[in-house]
Amino acid sequence: MSSADPFARIADVIESQRSPEARREQLSLYVAMGDSFTAGTGCPTGDAWPDRLAACLRLRHPSLAFRNLAVEGATSGEVAEQLGEAVELEPDLVTVVCGANDVLLSTRPDVAAYARRLAGILGRLRAADPGVRIVTATAPDHWDFLELGPRTRARVERGIERLNRATRGVARAYGIACLEVAAHPGLAKPENFSADGLHPSALGHERAARGFAALLREHGIEIDEPKGDQR
């Protein structure tokens, strides 16, 4: 990233303000922001990955409360509208996953505008509490089981590729942990998807929870391993 990149300058400021030691205190509130992936669409058990993640966190943080603000079909602009409530709740941990609908619902997605919105979400969360832990994720770069024409599929995959580059750049700039969903081998396994071919199945949500838990653990948050399928 070049020195002229505004995200790089933001990253320098954030890095200079960090405590040299990772915070390991008890977490009191986890807030999930996002679209249908976070809302749990396609998970018939009602036990989506954020619910599973919260349950695992409670094993180490017994008083943890959890709020899921995600809305099915939300674009990044609509996820930004969840910010007011999220900030008011004063969470210790926030997951922010959005952007796929910006591509799926537009023939010409404005990825630069998405990057600005994501930066605005992360920036406001950090401004409200510099110590808040925030996690985001890239989007699946292909949906093999979703019925799309070849031209539409090519357009969507190009848009998602650009979206993911933007997500990684913004996350890097703000020092945010980013789960790499793109190019994950699980995207080629039909059992990870619900009948619509777009949303995760119950097994897909379980495996997503495992990925987020591993990422949190890498970044110093105490969390038990989710139970269930280990693959």
State pLDDT tens for residues 171-219. 999 999 999 999 899 999 999 999 999 999 999 999 999 999 999 999 9
Nearest CA to 182 among 203, 151, 150, 159?
Answer: 159
pLDDT digit string, tens, across residues 142-182: 889 999 999 999 999 999 999 999 999 999 999 999 999 99
> d(Cα 68, Cα 176) in Å, to the nearest integer?
19
Tokens, residue 153: 């599929």
CATH fold of 6-17+26-218 reads Rossmann fold (3.40.50)
Place of tokens 């390991």: 24
pLDDT of residue 9: 54
Which of helix, strand or coil describes residue 155? helix
Confidence of residue 32 (pLDDT cuts 50, 70, 90): very high
- CB of 87 within 8 A of CB of 80? no
Query: Which residues lie below 8 Å from residue 54, measured CB to CB, with a gap of 6+?
Result: 30, 64, 66
Q: Where are the domains of the chain?
A: 6-17+26-218
The mean pLDDT value for 39-65 works out to 91
Nearest CA to 122 among 101, 160, 96?
Answer: 96
Strand residues in the chain grouped as ranges (E): 29-34, 65-68, 93-97, 133-137, 177-179
The mean pLDDT value for 51-60 works out to 95
Is residue 230 predicted with pLDDT exceeding 90?
Answer: no
Give the strand order in the sheet containing 177-179: 65-68, 29-34, 93-97, 133-137, 177-179
Other C-beta atoms within 10 Å of 37: how many?
A: 28
Total-model pTM: 0.87
Is residue 13 predicted with pLDDT exceeding 60?
Answer: no
> d(Cα 124, Cα 129) in Å, to the nearest integer?
9
